[in-house]
Amino acid sequence: MAGPRRRQKGDGGISEYRTRAGPRFLIKYAVQREDGTTRVVLKRGLASRRDAAAALRAEIRKTDLGEWVEPSKQRLDAYLAEWMQTQRLSPSTRASYLKNIRLHIAPPSERTRSRASPAR
């Protein structure tokens, strides 16, 4: 009886792991960075082996076509601050967006720092 087919180098891999919710799958594949180094990427939490195989094929295709983009370490509030500078918004809309970013996205330490001190 033949065992599972082994993948060739560069084809990535699929592994099963156990959780309280039941078995889950992870995919592992290598990507070429712009500086020429190689990085191994793991994606976890796929519900079935079939989903994992489809996700692995999609990710490898992205790397082959040069569409894979390395994730940024920039925080969302910093990105939105840059984005706000490029938008043409009315003053009330801008104030509303900034308030929502401050209240719902910025970390708590940033929230207290960005508020003005109350007048006594």
Strand partners, 34: none
Query: Taking the domains of the chain in order of start, what are their residue ranges?
Result: 13-65, 76-114
Q: Which residues contact 105 (CB under 8 A, 6 or more apart)?
A: 76, 77, 80
**Mean pLDDT within 11-38:** 89
pLDDT over threshold 80, residue 10: no
Q: How many CB atoms within 10 Å of residue 46?
A: 19
pTM above the 0.75 mark?
Answer: no
Q: Of 15, 10, 13, 45, nearest to 31 (Cα)?
A: 10
Q: Where are the extended beta strands (E) located within the chain?
A: 13-19, 22-32, 38-46
Asked if 58 and 41 count as a contact pair (C-beta separation under 8 A), the reply is no
Q: Of 58, 63, 72, nearest to 10 (Cα)?
A: 63
pLDDT in tens, 26-71: 999 988 888 888 888 899 999 999 999 999 999 989 888 888 888 8
